[in-house]
Structure 1
Amino acid sequence: MHSTATFLIEFGAIILGLGLLGRFAGRFQFSPIPLYLLAGLAFGEGGLLSLGASEEFVAIGAEIGVILLLLMLGLEYTATDLVTNLKTQYPAGLVDMVLNALPGAAMALLLGWGPVAAVVLAGVTWISSSGVIAKVLNDLGRVGNRETPVVLSILVLEDLSMAVYLPIITALLAGSGLAAGSVTLAIALGVAGLVLFLAVRYGRHISRFVSHQDPEKLLLVVLGLTLLVAGIAQQLQVSAAVGAFLVGIALSGEVAEGAHHLLSPLRDLFAAVFFVFFGLHTDPAEIPPVLLPALALAVVTALSKIATGYWAARRAGVSVNGRWRAGGTLVARGEFSIVIAGLAVTSGIEPRLGPLATAYVLILVIVGPLTARYTQPVALALTRATARRRAAGTGDAAGSAAPDAPSAERLEADPVERS
């Protein structure tokens, strides 16, 4: 049995290490998420040193981290914004599902894993990481950008679709009959719809109930309400992240602003713990045998996510810069992918599915913050290079560069477009 002193030493070392890694990333102006993940990988299963005393607390902290990340995203938008975005962006959700779920299903079938594993791997490659993307948007200062509502709409559609998808794969993995699977699905849909209805219809009353002049009491009520709703949602087979997001949507005005200010430090702390926890539970020895299929799948679905974001932002009237930023932001996979793969591993349908999903998510959770930052600059550089090649090919730089130059200039002139 571990002593309290051992727990304090381990957890204190984790927090101190995260702080130092965050300072290092801030000095070079990039997201600390990849460093948090690599730190967890180094000190987890099969790593340099395994943690024991603080593991259970870190696991709980990781769950709270995801909940707070989604709550803070919800606080940025009202219920009206949510409904409007869902109505206007549902075609983007369909495109997202087709472009990103099919590669996973195809890979499982090519590896001979069968149709049930194909449905599972389709979910792993389909769903972007709301937690990682929320942190990236905050780190890069893009919460107010014009393309951000498009990104959030796709994430919300994905998260809400989990209310349908998770009961389906749970029934498939358990071999349940049609009746049992239908009951589970009906409960999940009913709960998700009820929470959304309450957020839209009674958001003002909820805000009035939560509001208080004392910051301490406001913090306790908002945090308690969020954890309560998230827990109930999780118990009823609906994502806890969806519940937390909808609590944020339900709060508005001064309550939302005050809660955002008070909860920001807690979000940063527990979000960092979440990324470390993810790495702690990955054995590096399991990655090499499935690295090539995971790399191939990561490349294909990174490009398909960029295409999804670009198309959705273009449809919403966002500038070319914003389209590339939206696409690059959506690349990261994370918490939902691991949850889906974990269900499959527990059922024992395919022993290689877990390591493949882990390697795939690790690749994209590290690459995702980089694509969010550099997709638009790379697109700008390629546009310039294309314009120069066209000018050189015609031998009339003055004449042929003129039509192409404005597009490159427009790309460069609008690096940050805010709503």
Structure 2
Amino acid sequence: MHSAVFLIEFGAIILGLGLLGRVAGRLKFSPIPLYLLAGLAFGEGGLLPLPASEEFVAIGAEIGVILLLLMLGLEYTASDLVSNLKTQYPAGLVDFTLNAVPGAVAALLMGWGPVAAVVLAGVTWISSSGVIAKVMGDLGRLGNRETPVILSVLVLEDLAMAVFLPIVTALLAGVSLAAGSATLAIALGVAGGVLFVAVRYGRLISRFVSSDDPEKLLLVVLGLTLLVAGIAQQLQVSAAVGAFLVGIALSGEVAEGTHTLLSPLRDLFAAVFFVFFGLHTDPASIPPVLLPALALAVVTALTKIATGYWAAKRAGVGVKGRWRAGGTLVARGEFSIVIAGLAVTAGIEPALGPLATAYVLILVVMGPLTARYTEPVATWISKRRGPEGPHASTTPAPAKPQETVPDQDPAGRV
């Protein structure tokens, strides 16, 4: 009986996602907000809770994030990763300063104490790699000039989580400095080791994985990705980082074949991830913290746009690409919820969980909108203000060269 109920519930979820995707496609809009609203409607405190399929949806959501980051890694080569990390690390420092500080200040203003301030700083700092990967794919921007900048910021954030999560865990648990340092050293060692293997032995890994049989290629790549992601997570490193670095390690025909085979699976489980996020949000917990969450969301949306604009400008990207980079980085998601969940489990501040949930829901709905409309709105405002500005010149400005999308190989790499 339980299996029959599960099949009915899960089948209804998948069918509903398909219909919502069609609606979003006709409206030429990202389906992510619709998936989230569907999760709210059928989750805890919603219109029709679906308890039988909850555990399977949770596992599917985790697989969805892993596949999103694997596919994102396939768009990047190891040399691109290293060169961008070397050149974009100042963007990581700017990102931390502009986006972590507002969360810490908000927590202190609400009287939550220093530990809660560190936690909320992490919630407002980290963008959602899963949401952003999905949005860039939906908008067809994976080959744009600003995309390497966006990916560099996301990678720096994900790698920073290898340091931040052990620190937060140690603070919440009140463990000794020695124990916290040991956990941090392990996390850094694992992240560095996986990155070293991906960069140094990427060709060997691709040769090992390569197969002319699509079935064997799918099984080996998927199994390797889940294995590395699981080991990384077990050692206090993000599973997303592990999956991303597996994608980095794969190249050539293997990357092309993997992209083709895993795209449908990625889209399925990514949709499940966004529904799962909504399923675990009680709508009744949101109204009491809606105003502070909304204020924090507006402030940190603007700081993320500023971060992306600055990073893209520093990389020599044109003005339109800078605005697109900033708008794309706005969404928060899985990491923010993980960080807030650690604090809720430790019981340091009862209101922190609902506030973080409302904050992430606002930005995960706002993120696809800012990604799509920040650049057109900024261009419109610029045109409106330009001719009327005090320093407007009667001499027409020289035409700027049009931004072009760089050449790609068949795998879609920049």
TM-score range, shorter chain: over 0.9
Which residue identity lines up with residue 340 of structure 1 in the other structure?
I
Structure with the higher helix share, 1 or 2: 1
* Matching residue of 1:400: 393
> Are residues 1:108 and 2:101 paired?
no
* SS at structure 1 position matched to 2:388: helix
Structure 2 residue runs without a partner (length 5+): 408-414
Whole-Å separation in 2 of the counterparts to 1:29 and 1:417 = 22
* SS at structure 1 position matched to 2:317: coil
* Matching residue of 1:374: 373
Q: How does 1:276-295 map to 2 (within 5 A)?
A: 276-295=275-294
> Are residues 1:205 and 2:204 paired?
yes
Q: Deviations over 1:51-92 (max 9, x none)?
A: 011110000000000000000000111111110110000000
* Matching residue of 1:146: 145
* Matching residue of 1:173: 172
Whole-Å separation in 2 of the counterparts to 1:105 and 1:417 = 39
* Matching residue of 1:351: 350
Q: Deviations over 1:310-354 (max 9, x none)?
A: 000000000001000000000000000000000000000000000
> Are residues 1:240 and 2:239 paired?
yes
Q: How does 1:70-81 map to 2 (within 5 A)?
A: 70-81=69-80
Q: How does 1:272-311 map to 2 (within 5 A)?
A: 272-311=271-310
* Matching residue of 2:40: 41
Which residue identity lines up with residue 238 of structure 1 in the other structure?
V
* Matching residue of 1:334: 333
Superposed displacement of residue 4, structure 1: 1.3
Which residue identity lines up with residue 211 of structure 1 in the other structure?
S
Q: Deviations over 1:221-255 (max 9, x none)?
A: 00000000000000000000000000000000000
TM-score, with structure 1 as normaliser: 0.95
Which residue identity lines up with residue 81 of structure 1 in the other structure?
D
Q: How does 1:82-161 map to 2 (within 5 A)?
A: 82-161=81-160
1:103/1:122 contact within 8 Å kept: yes
* Matching residue of 1:194: 193
* Matching residue of 2:184: 185
1:322/1:417 contact within 8 Å kept: no
Superposed displacement of residue 3, structure 1: 1.7
* Matching residue of 1:270: 269
Q: How does 1:242-261 map to 2 (within 5 A)?
A: 242-261=241-260
Superposed displacement of residue 387, structure 1: 1.7
> Are residues 1:8 and 2:7 paired?
yes
Which residue identity lines up with residue 368 of structure 1 in the other structure?
G
* Matching residue of 2:26: 27
Superposed displacement of residue 401, structure 1: 5.0
Superposed displacement of residue 417, structure 1: 4.1
* SS at structure 2 position matched to 1:50: coil
Q: Deviations over 1:358-391 (max 9, x none)?
A: 000000000000000000000010001102333x
Inter-CA distance 402–359: structure 2 relative to 1 (3 Å threshold): farther
* SS at structure 2 position matched to 1:112: coil
Whole-Å separation in 2 of the counterparts to 1:40 and 1:410 = 45
Whole-Å separation in 2 of the counterparts to 1:158 and 1:387 = 36
Which residue identity lines up with residue 142 of structure 1 in the other structure?
R
1:36/1:276 contact within 8 Å kept: yes
* SS at structure 1 position matched to 2:89: helix
Whole-Å separation in 1 of the counterparts to 2:137 and 2:168 = 33
Whole-Å separation in 1 of the counterparts to 2:153 and 2:252 = 24
* Matching residue of 1:319: 318
Structure 1 residue runs without a partner (length 5+): none
* Matching residue of 1:17: 16
Give aligned pairs, total.
407
Which residue identity lines up with residue 385 of structure 1 in the other structure?
R
Whole-Å separation in 2 of the counterparts to 1:410 and 1:357 = 43
Whole-Å separation in 2 of the counterparts to 1:283 and 1:389 = 49
Whole-Å separation in 2 of the counterparts to 1:59 and 1:388 = 53
Which residue identity lines up with residue 243 of structure 1 in the other structure?
G
Inter-CA distance 22–410: structure 2 relative to 1 (3 Å threshold): farther
* Matching residue of 1:364: 363
Whole-Å separation in 2 of the counterparts to 1:410 and 1:220 = 48
1:387/1:401 contact within 8 Å kept: no
Superposed displacement of residue 410, structure 1: 5.0
Superposed displacement of residue 178, structure 1: 0.2
Whole-Å separation in 2 of the counterparts to 1:72 and 1:348 = 36
Which residue identity lines up with residue 182 of structure 1 in the other structure?
S
Whole-Å separation in 1 of the counterparts to 2:215 and 2:405 = 36
Whole-Å separation in 2 of the counterparts to 1:400 and 1:310 = 25
Q: Percent identity, aligned pairs only? A: 83
Whole-Å separation in 1 of the counterparts to 2:203 and 2:393 = 57
Superposed displacement of residue 402, structure 1: 3.9
* SS at structure 1 position matched to 2:387: helix
